[in-house]
Chain A
Amino acid sequence: MDIKPVLIAFLAVIAVGAEPPAGTGPGSGTPSIPERDLIDTAAIYPDYEILVIDKPISKDATHRPTVVAGEQIRSTERTTALEALSQESADIYVSSRGAGLHGVSSGASGGIYIRGLGGSPNSQILVVEDGAPDYMGIFGHPIPDAFSPALIDRVLVIKGGDGVLYGTNAMGGIIAIENKWPGNNGVSLDHDAAYGTFNTFRDRISLFCKNGAIDAVGGFSSFSTDGHRDGASGSSTAGQIGVRFHLGQSATLSLRDKAIHLNGGDPGPAFHPYTDRWFEVLRNTFTGRLKMSLIDWNLSVVPWFNFGEHRLYDGFFSRDYTAGTTVEATRSFLDSKIELLLGAGGDHIDGLVTNRITDETETVKPMSGGSAYSQLSVSPKPGLTLVGGVRAYYSTRYGYVPLYKAGIAWGVFQLLTLHSRITRNFRQPTLRELYLPYPTANPGLKPEHATNWDAGIELSPRFLHLSCSVYKTWAQNLIKYFGMWPSAEVVNIDQMEISGIEGELELKAWNPFRFFLTGCWQNVGRFTKQNPGAKANVRGEWSRTMAHGVLVCAVSGEWVHDIYMNNYCRDQLDDVLVFDGSLRYKAVSPSDITVEPYVLVRNLLDSQYEYIKYYSMPGLHFLAGLRLGI
């Protein structure tokens, strides 16, 4: 049967409902923000919409990032903010273990897998906040519980990595967090407090203040829970402050500081709980950003300093530092048909590790690196964008590491976009892998490398968004542990190939219903340790405008298939199928005070499931809260 007429007829039907041309629409070859990320905030928090859409999506127009608005993360039905990202795209997988904290060290969840890379270790995924990389210096990975959503404007998950623009660790993907600044003069306050099962308490306050040339923001979030079982209790407290100065018409200087304190423990397997395996983490990140226009160049300078202290029940104590600066300059030529990005950066990582019980100190040598990189974007005709880039990374340990990328995005019609991208990425070994006996060290380790390729198609008429991508990853020199203490070894030996396909379907204009479905299947070969073979997420929303506000009822679900605790398909877990729900009533008073009582109902079907073997997830539980905006 010839299916071409059917396809053409289908496309013709879709074309009838196509959106009008827009500068940032899909037809232009630049990714668009899914409308689901904006609609709620647009109705209730008008300032936020301006903040969200007033920026380019990504520096690379051939990226097809998953874009998640901060408001979507703050109002998620899922247990943690990180899991909210996993809900938005099936090729992102985040493990969980309980009622709100991921933890660190043994028994921790929050492994982030993007298209088969990451998770173990998470150092193959890079978290970048306001342009500055955010990872624990010694272990080289982001702290899952440090992902605090109080001030987040939006998050871009760049799948397939981009070592050219982001450097080391951007091997499997990048989680790029952008925080908010106030849009209008005046003061606004947002307070969200909730209480629920397991004595769980959550409180978030964000304050925005704008006075002429000075913007100020402050955020505070606190979370505590007794947990759904012994040893699962914990708390986190995060505070952020920021100030931005408008220096004339074309320059801004912003300074931000974020501190976070975590307390918790490894609860152990449910059949054998631990109550004494505690951890305590204290971290602080300072980020600056100078943005200015100089002649025809847009210049951005981002210095950062990140330090932290980690204490564990077994006497482990570490203090780590990462510091660096990135300088980027961009310029457009020929009516923006050519865009050139030039960048340079450097970083330094150091730390100390001691055992407070035995008073033994491990020798850790600092690492430094510097990079120069460039990216060229060419749009020879409307809708067609070609991107190429190279980075030369120089490390004090490894010498020069060349990275490259190339991509194409073509808006064939206003509603149809094709894209493909190839990137060469790397991850340098962490100080832990090089020097620390957990379970063994190897100072001779070399960086891991990965080549990631994807290609896809997007259809975006008015009433739906449909996309599909195929991807493949080849990774070499993977750092791998063999054996067990006291004779374990860690070496660069392994290589892997991962291939997969992911797709998204969103029905938008079916008021009062909205529907979103994403699915992914991937072949991870023998690398099955916590790396699912298939995953799907679904979200349905129903809203009703009432006399004083809007009632929104949402249900989201996750299905995870083929999860194993070990490679070679060993120690299989049952498939996860879990649904969460929320009910929100959003009202605005005449004095512009927003009042939003809500209830989150997690594990609606009271399923017994687990992402980590024997770390059973809670049954049906609730969180009820009230949000006030002034």
Chain B
Amino acid sequence: MKFNLAIALTLAMTVMLGTLLPSCNKTTDPEGPDEQDPVATVRVKNDFNNPAMAMKPPWTICKCNYRGVEFGKVLQGDSSAAREVSPGIDYVLMVLAWNDTACSTQNCLPVASKIEEEVVDGQTRTIAINAPNHQGPCPPEGVQPIPDSLYDRILDLYPEYQFLPYDQRTNNPECLD
């Protein structure tokens, strides 16, 4: 009898607290994920001219996509307009133009952020793209080459630039300059 009571009490306690506590969360965090779709506000900054960097390559961000949201063109030192994205983790996928703010196709290359950038629900964040935080198809010695998975994602996003397939990536016109 006592045993049955004990089991029943434990189960009741577990269910009660387990259901009670998430509702406590909602009270303290009314904007939490259970109330509405999670969202983060993101800007992308062209930080290639950051004075703290030893290397300041003259890249212009011509196209930029993060977690499926377009951020458009971003000149050096500028930040994009704020956009709402779903929280999570992903690379920033871009088309960059070398020393060309007009973004002529022959000066462009598919480039990604070096690290997977994360945003969480409710966050407002500016993601900086700079010399340490990028990877491309024909980088100089010491800069990480982009893997094929990211390269192909950028090609799918921006077919109008007619970048060469991954195995011919070093023959893109900007690489040959």
Contact = CB atoms under 8 A, between A and B. Distances in A.
Physical contact A–B (CB less than 8 Å): yes
Interface of A: 7-8, 11, 408, 410, 412-413, 416, 418, 420, 422, 451, 453, 455, 457, 470, 472, 474, 476, 480, 482-487, 489, 491, 493-495, 567-568, 570
Contacts of B10: 418, 420, 455, 457
A9 to B, nearest CB: 12
A493 B120 contact: yes
Nearest to B127: A483
A476 B128 contact: no
A451 B21 contact: yes
28 contacts: A408-B13, A410-B9, A412-B6, A416-B3, A418-B10, A451-B24, A453-B21, A455-B10, A457-B10, A472-B18, A472-B21, A482-B117, A482-B118, A483-B115, A483-B127, A483-B128, A484-B133, A486-B52, A486-B130, A487-B45, A487-B126, A487-B133, A489-B125, A493-B120, A493-B122, A494-B120, A495-B120, A495-B121
A493 B14 contact: no
A487 B117 CA distance: 12
Contact of A491 (B6, B32, B123, B130): B123
Contacts of A418: 6, 9-10
Interface string B126-148: 11101011000000000000000
Interface in B86-129: 89, 115-123, 125-128
A393 B29 CA distance: 21
Given A474-B25, A484-B115, A416 B50 contact: no
Contact of B3 (A412, A455, A483, A568): A412
B2 A495 contact: no
A485 B28 CA distance: 33
A11 B120 contact: no
Contacts of B159: none
A591 to B, nearest CB: 53
A483 B53 CA distance: 15
B176 interface: no
Nearest 9 A/B pairs, CB to CB = A487-B128, A486-B52, A412-B6, A493-B123, A420-B13, A494-B120, A568-B89, A418-B10, A455-B14
Contacts of A410: 6, 9
Contacts of A570: 116
B13 A455 contact: yes
B5 to A, nearest CB: 8
Contacts of A567: 89, 118
A204 B9 CA distance: 49
A568 B89 CA distance: 8
Given A412-B6, A413-B2, A416-B3, 14 more contacts: A413-B3, A418-B6, A420-B10, A420-B13, A455-B14, A470-B14, A474-B24, A482-B119, A483-B127, A486-B52, A487-B128, A568-B116, A568-B118, A570-B116
Nearest to B115: A484
Interface string B26-58: 001100100000000000010100101100000
B21 A474 contact: yes
Contacts of B119: 482
A495 B9 contact: no
Contacts of A453: 17-18, 21
Contact of A487 (B24, B122, B123, B130): B130
Contacts of B120: 480, 493-495
A495 B53 contact: no
A470 B125 CA distance: 36
Given A416-B6, A420-B17, A455-B13, A486 B22 contact: no
A120 B3 CA distance: 42
Nearest to B118: A482
B22 to A, nearest CB: 7
Nearest to A566: B116
Contacts of B32: 495
A571 B25 CA distance: 31
A300 B126 CA distance: 51
B87 to A, nearest CB: 10
A472 B17 CA distance: 10
Contact of A11 (B3, B17, B122): B3
Given A474-B21, A476-B29, A482 B125 contact: yes
Contacts of A493: 120, 122-123
A218 B6 CA distance: 48
A483 B13 contact: no
Given A412-B6, A455-B17, A484 B132 contact: yes
Nearest to A4: B4
A427 B107 CA distance: 51
Contacts of B21: 422, 451, 453, 472, 474
Given A416-B6, A474-B25, A487 B18 contact: no
Interface-central residue, B10, B119, B126, by most chain A CB under 10 Å: B10
Contacts of B22: 474
Contacts of B3: 7-8, 11, 412-413, 416
Contacts of B117: 482-483
A525 B11 CA distance: 24
B13 to A, nearest CB: 5
A7 to B, nearest CB: 8
A197 B50 CA distance: 50
Contacts of B9: 410, 418
A486 B14 contact: no
Given A416-B3, A416-B6, A457-B10, A476 B122 contact: no
Contacts of A484: 115, 132-133
A467 to B, nearest CB: 13
Nearest to B125: A482
A355 to B, nearest CB: 16
Interface in B44-77: 45, 47, 50, 52-53
A568 B2 CA distance: 45
A470 B9 CA distance: 15
Contacts of A412: 2-3, 5-6
B13 A495 contact: no
A459 to B, nearest CB: 11
A480 B50 CA distance: 23
Contacts of A474: 21-22, 24-25
A336 to B, nearest CB: 24
A482 B125 CA distance: 9
Nearest to B117: A483
Contacts of A408: 13
A583 to B, nearest CB: 43
Nearest to A570: B116
Contacts of B118: 482, 567-568
Contacts of A413: 2-3
Nearest to A11: B3
B47 A487 contact: yes
Contacts of A8: 3
Contacts of B121: 495
A476 B28 contact: yes
